[in-house]
Structure 1
């Protein structure tokens, strides 16, 4: 993948519009299914403007993934600042996942969806997704450590896997069943008594 061209005005209205359109279309219809011509038409820019702002679709894809990552990090950081109790933070994460799956435009997890489109684990998109998932698991591990979980890393891995199952199950099948199971299982993880000694 090529890097975005260097531009003195990286927040131009055209650039912002292109990213907003890409965010919507990549999530709704898939990354590879969304062609440059469709992006250009929906953003109401010229092809020259697209290439001036991003240089390639690959650069736009990476910015889309980075934007989704930034949104999650900011939301979880704000959640952490608003709540001191780690169980309350984890409970709020569960609530947010359940609420997210109930949106009419819900199409599954954007990171899992993107990973499915890029097979190579060394592809820049996959690398960005791995970094995002590692950060999220680390965030969970810190909360479980604060709770005194005997194996906070294992608890974080379980929570993350439960979340993945909930978002995939909600999109592909019965959202109520998937999120209800997630809610029950995830809350058992952080409500379980802490092992002593």
Structure 2
């Protein structure tokens, strides 16, 4: 792992923008180097390989999601936390440039479960599922583990559905489905 620097941040920010907008395999190192305004030597000093950059990209998204959750959820009741999750996900799906879930997109390009990229994706998903279990348990919902799996499926399906169809419709359907899972 390289030490933080302005050049490293520029590379990661550039890769994040390009990977999300165009796809990971569609964007080469040369383009990232050029758009980030760094040399190839600087790039490779911070990221020994493109796969290392992709792993960092996934972990960067994960850190951002966790920070948003940490900032939004303190002091919230479980039912309000679940409603906030649905609202924020719906807003994300409806924003311009939405291309689906960055984790699902990366998983499609890195299917080998043993790769560091896939492991970073799995770590994010395990954290999110555990968050759902905790919120559902606090709500007193029966079988919180099973229902957290349902919420993961709903979230995944909504992210893909919104990227392929009508985001506002999908956001409304997600909200209704999450409420049904929590109320059942």
Tell me the TM-score range normalised by the shorter chain. over 0.9
Instruction: Specify the alignment match of 1:195 in structure 2.
Output: none
1:12-27 aligned at under 5 Å gives the runs 12-27=5-20
Residue aligning to 1:174: 166
- Corresponding residue pairs, total: 184
Gaps of 5+ in 2: none
Q: Is 1:63 equivalent to 2:56 in the alignment?
A: yes
Aligned to 1:28: 21
Give unpaired runs (5+ residues) of structure 1. Answer: 193-197
- Taking the aligned partners of 1:153 and 1:32, their CA distance within structure 2 comes to 35
* Mapping 1:78-117, distance limit 5 Å: 78-83=71-76, 85-117=77-109
Greater Rg over alpha carbons, structure: 1
Cα separation, 1, equivalents of 2:71 and 2:126: 19
Structure 1 runs (4+) deviating above 3 angstroms are: none
Alignment partner, residue 137 of structure 2: 145
How far apart are 1:127 and its partner, in Å? 1.1
TM-score, normalisation: structure 2 = 0.96
Q: Partner residue of 1:51?
A: 44
**Deviation of 1:82 (Å):** 4.2
Ranked by relative contact order (alpha carbons within 8 Å, sequence separation 6 or more), the top structure is 2
Q: Distance in 2 between matches of 1:12 and 1:122?
A: 29
Secondary structure at the residue paired with 1:108? coil
Q: Deviations over 1:44-95 (max 9, x none)?
A: 1111111122122111111111111111111112222141x10000000000
- d(CA) in 2 for partners of 1:114 and 1:82? 33
